[in-house]
Amino acid sequence: MAFNVHILTLFPEMFPGPLGQSLAGKALERGDWAYTATNIRDFADGVHKSVDDTPYGGGAGMVMRADIVEKALLSIDNPGRKIYLSPRGKPLKQALVKELSQAPGLTLLCGRYEGVDQRVLDAHGFEEISIGDYVLSGGEPAAMILMDACIRLLPGVMGNDDTPDNESFGSATGGLLEYPHYTRPAEWNAADGKTYGVPDVLTSGDHAKIEQWRKKQSEELTKQRRPDLLKNA
Protein backbone atom coordinates (compact mmCIF):
# COMPACT_ATOMS: atom_id res chain seq x y z
CA MET A 1 0.00 0.00 0.00
CA ALA A 2 1.35 3.42 -0.96
CA PHE A 3 2.41 5.99 1.60
CA ASN A 4 -0.19 8.76 1.24
CA VAL A 5 0.34 12.39 2.17
CA HIS A 6 -2.38 15.03 2.08
CA ILE A 7 -1.15 18.63 2.13
CA LEU A 8 -3.31 21.57 3.17
CA THR A 9 -1.72 24.69 1.73
CA LEU A 10 -2.32 28.07 0.14
CA PHE A 11 0.26 27.19 -2.50
CA PRO A 12 -0.49 23.72 -3.93
CA GLU A 13 1.65 24.49 -6.98
CA MET A 14 4.73 24.20 -4.74
CA PHE A 15 4.29 20.41 -4.68
CA PRO A 16 5.83 17.98 -5.38
CA GLY A 17 8.69 20.43 -5.98
CA PRO A 18 12.05 18.74 -5.31
CA LEU A 19 10.20 15.59 -4.27
CA GLY A 20 9.46 15.02 -7.95
CA GLN A 21 13.17 14.46 -8.60
CA SER A 22 15.81 11.85 -7.75
CA LEU A 23 14.88 8.89 -5.52
CA ALA A 24 11.65 10.45 -4.26
CA GLY A 25 10.58 11.26 -7.82
CA LYS A 26 11.24 7.70 -8.99
CA ALA A 27 9.32 6.36 -5.99
CA LEU A 28 6.43 8.68 -6.86
CA GLU A 29 6.38 7.35 -10.42
CA ARG A 30 6.40 3.76 -9.14
CA GLY A 31 3.51 4.48 -6.81
CA ASP A 32 5.48 3.89 -3.61
CA TRP A 33 3.98 7.12 -2.32
CA ALA A 34 1.28 9.53 -3.41
CA TYR A 35 0.15 13.01 -2.47
CA THR A 36 -2.71 15.45 -2.83
CA ALA A 37 -2.24 19.19 -2.39
CA THR A 38 -5.49 20.86 -1.34
CA ASN A 39 -5.81 24.62 -1.74
CA ILE A 40 -7.26 26.02 1.49
CA ARG A 41 -8.35 29.16 -0.37
CA ASP A 42 -10.84 27.09 -2.37
CA PHE A 43 -12.95 26.82 0.79
CA ALA A 44 -13.15 30.55 1.47
CA ASP A 45 -16.18 32.66 0.57
CA GLY A 46 -16.37 36.00 -1.19
CA VAL A 47 -14.73 37.53 -4.21
CA HIS A 48 -11.31 37.82 -2.61
CA LYS A 49 -11.31 34.33 -1.05
CA SER A 50 -9.78 35.68 2.14
CA VAL A 51 -8.55 32.96 4.51
CA ASP A 52 -7.19 35.13 7.35
CA ASP A 53 -8.27 37.79 9.82
CA THR A 54 -6.81 39.99 12.55
CA PRO A 55 -5.89 38.27 15.84
CA TYR A 56 -8.01 38.70 18.96
CA GLY A 57 -6.05 40.61 21.56
CA GLY A 58 -4.16 42.59 18.96
CA GLY A 59 -0.69 42.08 17.62
CA ALA A 60 1.15 42.06 14.34
CA GLY A 61 0.12 39.96 11.37
CA MET A 62 -2.92 37.93 10.44
CA VAL A 63 -4.18 34.50 11.49
CA MET A 64 -5.63 31.75 9.29
CA ARG A 65 -9.30 31.18 10.16
CA ALA A 66 -10.38 27.98 11.90
CA ASP A 67 -13.63 27.59 9.94
CA ILE A 68 -11.91 27.72 6.55
CA VAL A 69 -9.08 25.39 7.54
CA GLU A 70 -11.64 22.93 8.92
CA LYS A 71 -13.61 22.90 5.66
CA ALA A 72 -10.42 22.07 3.77
CA LEU A 73 -9.57 19.31 6.25
CA LEU A 74 -13.02 17.75 6.09
CA SER A 75 -12.75 17.50 2.30
CA ILE A 76 -10.09 14.82 2.77
CA ASP A 77 -11.13 11.18 3.10
CA ASN A 78 -9.06 9.24 5.63
CA PRO A 79 -6.72 12.06 6.66
CA GLY A 80 -4.68 9.76 8.88
CA ARG A 81 -2.23 11.34 11.29
CA LYS A 82 -2.72 15.12 11.31
CA ILE A 83 0.36 17.32 11.62
CA TYR A 84 0.75 21.08 11.78
CA LEU A 85 4.26 22.24 10.83
CA SER A 86 5.19 24.77 13.50
CA PRO A 87 8.39 26.14 15.10
CA ARG A 88 6.80 25.55 18.51
CA GLY A 89 6.24 21.84 17.81
CA LYS A 90 8.21 18.85 19.02
CA PRO A 91 11.49 18.39 17.13
CA LEU A 92 11.53 16.15 14.08
CA LYS A 93 14.01 13.45 15.08
CA GLN A 94 14.93 10.30 13.15
CA ALA A 95 12.92 8.06 15.48
CA LEU A 96 9.81 10.16 14.80
CA VAL A 97 10.53 10.12 11.05
CA LYS A 98 10.66 6.32 11.12
CA GLU A 99 7.38 6.22 13.02
CA LEU A 100 5.67 8.60 10.59
CA SER A 101 6.96 6.68 7.56
CA GLN A 102 5.12 3.60 8.80
CA ALA A 103 1.80 5.41 9.16
CA PRO A 104 -0.86 4.59 6.54
CA GLY A 105 -1.30 8.27 5.79
CA LEU A 106 -0.48 11.80 6.89
CA THR A 107 -2.19 15.17 6.58
CA LEU A 108 0.21 18.10 6.74
CA LEU A 109 -1.16 21.55 7.49
CA CYS A 110 1.04 24.36 6.16
CA GLY A 111 0.48 27.62 7.96
CA ARG A 112 1.12 31.12 6.66
CA TYR A 113 1.02 34.63 8.13
CA GLU A 114 1.20 34.48 11.94
CA GLY A 115 -0.14 30.94 11.98
CA VAL A 116 -3.44 29.10 12.38
CA ASP A 117 -6.32 29.67 14.82
CA GLN A 118 -5.57 27.37 17.77
CA ARG A 119 -9.15 26.12 17.89
CA VAL A 120 -8.94 24.10 14.69
CA LEU A 121 -5.74 22.46 15.93
CA ASP A 122 -7.42 21.51 19.19
CA ALA A 123 -10.70 20.40 17.63
CA HIS A 124 -9.04 17.97 15.22
CA GLY A 125 -6.12 16.75 17.29
CA PHE A 126 -3.27 18.12 15.20
CA GLU A 127 0.25 17.30 16.35
CA GLU A 128 2.71 20.16 16.08
CA ILE A 129 6.12 19.25 14.66
CA SER A 130 9.13 21.51 14.15
CA ILE A 131 12.03 20.93 11.75
CA GLY A 132 14.31 23.30 13.68
CA ASP A 133 14.70 26.33 15.88
CA TYR A 134 13.97 28.93 13.21
CA VAL A 135 10.95 30.45 11.50
CA LEU A 136 10.05 30.05 7.82
CA SER A 137 7.71 32.10 5.64
CA GLY A 138 5.31 29.16 5.57
CA GLY A 139 4.96 25.49 6.35
CA GLU A 140 5.48 24.23 2.80
CA PRO A 141 9.31 23.86 2.92
CA ALA A 142 8.98 22.16 6.30
CA ALA A 143 6.38 19.76 4.89
CA MET A 144 8.74 18.85 2.05
CA ILE A 145 11.55 18.13 4.50
CA LEU A 146 9.32 15.90 6.60
CA MET A 147 8.05 14.11 3.51
CA ASP A 148 11.55 13.59 2.09
CA ALA A 149 12.79 12.15 5.38
CA CYS A 150 9.87 9.70 5.43
CA ILE A 151 9.90 8.74 1.74
CA ARG A 152 13.55 7.69 1.75
CA LEU A 153 12.74 5.16 4.49
CA LEU A 154 10.04 3.43 2.45
CA PRO A 155 10.99 -0.12 1.37
CA GLY A 156 12.97 -0.15 -1.87
CA VAL A 157 13.36 3.62 -2.23
CA MET A 158 17.09 3.68 -1.46
CA GLY A 159 17.85 0.29 -2.96
CA ASN A 160 19.49 -1.00 0.22
CA ASP A 161 17.09 -1.02 3.15
CA ASP A 162 20.03 -1.24 5.60
CA THR A 163 21.35 2.18 4.54
CA PRO A 164 19.37 4.28 7.07
CA ASP A 165 20.68 2.23 10.01
CA ASN A 166 24.27 3.13 9.07
CA GLU A 167 23.67 6.86 8.75
CA SER A 168 23.64 9.62 11.35
CA PHE A 169 21.09 8.85 14.10
CA GLY A 170 20.77 5.24 12.85
CA SER A 171 20.79 2.10 14.95
CA ALA A 172 24.15 0.89 13.59
CA THR A 173 25.79 4.18 14.63
CA GLY A 174 24.20 4.05 18.07
CA GLY A 175 22.20 7.18 17.35
CA LEU A 176 25.40 9.20 16.89
CA LEU A 177 26.68 11.20 13.92
CA GLU A 178 28.03 9.28 10.96
CA TYR A 179 31.77 8.80 10.44
CA PRO A 180 33.63 10.50 7.53
CA HIS A 181 33.68 8.94 4.05
CA TYR A 182 36.46 8.77 1.44
CA THR A 183 36.70 7.53 -2.16
CA ARG A 184 39.13 7.65 -5.13
CA PRO A 185 41.62 9.12 -5.80
CA ALA A 186 43.71 7.92 -2.87
CA GLU A 187 45.69 11.16 -3.04
CA TRP A 188 43.90 14.35 -3.96
CA ASN A 189 45.63 17.58 -4.92
CA ALA A 190 43.28 20.31 -3.77
CA ALA A 191 43.06 23.89 -4.99
CA ASP A 192 44.78 25.07 -1.80
CA GLY A 193 48.02 23.45 -3.06
CA LYS A 194 47.98 20.66 -0.48
CA THR A 195 47.78 16.92 -1.06
CA TYR A 196 45.18 15.10 0.97
CA GLY A 197 45.36 11.36 1.52
CA VAL A 198 43.01 8.71 2.88
CA PRO A 199 43.41 7.37 6.44
CA ASP A 200 45.66 4.30 6.23
CA VAL A 201 43.24 2.12 8.15
CA LEU A 202 40.66 2.39 5.35
CA THR A 203 43.05 0.86 2.83
CA SER A 204 44.38 -1.80 5.22
CA GLY A 205 41.77 -4.42 4.45
CA ASP A 206 41.42 -5.10 8.18
CA HIS A 207 37.66 -4.84 8.63
CA ALA A 208 37.78 -5.09 12.41
CA LYS A 209 40.15 -2.11 12.62
CA ILE A 210 38.07 -0.19 10.08
CA GLU A 211 34.97 -0.75 12.20
CA GLN A 212 36.82 0.43 15.31
CA TRP A 213 38.09 3.53 13.49
CA ARG A 214 34.61 4.40 12.22
CA LYS A 215 33.12 4.00 15.68
CA LYS A 216 35.78 6.25 17.21
CA GLN A 217 35.30 8.87 14.49
CA SER A 218 31.55 8.79 15.05
CA GLU A 219 32.01 9.31 18.78
CA GLU A 220 34.52 12.16 18.32
CA LEU A 221 32.37 14.00 15.79
CA THR A 222 29.31 13.66 18.01
CA LYS A 223 31.28 14.90 21.04
CA GLN A 224 32.44 17.98 19.09
CA ARG A 225 29.22 18.86 17.25
CA ARG A 226 26.26 17.27 19.05
CA PRO A 227 27.25 16.34 22.61
CA ASP A 228 23.54 16.18 23.48
CA LEU A 229 23.30 12.95 21.46
CA LEU A 230 25.82 11.20 23.70
CA LYS A 231 23.32 11.19 26.58
CA ASN A 232 21.08 8.72 24.74
CA ALA A 233 23.83 6.73 23.00
What pLDDT score does 162 carry? 61
Per-residue pLDDT of the chain (233 residues; tens, 9 = 90+): 789 999 999 999 999 999 999 999 999 999 999 999 999 999 999 889 999 999 999 988 999 999 999 999 999 999 999 999 999 999 999 999 999 999 989 999 999 999 999 999 999 999 999 999 999 999 999 999 999 999 999 999 987 666 666 666 766 667 899 999 999 999 999 999 999 999 999 999 999 999 999 999 999 999 999 999 998 76
Q: Is the pTM of this model over 0.85?
A: yes
Residue pair 140/188 in contact by the 8 Å Cβ criterion? no
Domains and CATH numbers, the chain: 3-151 (3.40.1280.10), 169-232 (1.10.1270.20)
Sign of torsion, CA 221 225 226 231? Answer: positive
- Rounded CA-CA distance 84/123 in Å is 13
- Rounded CA-CA distance 6/124 in Å is 15
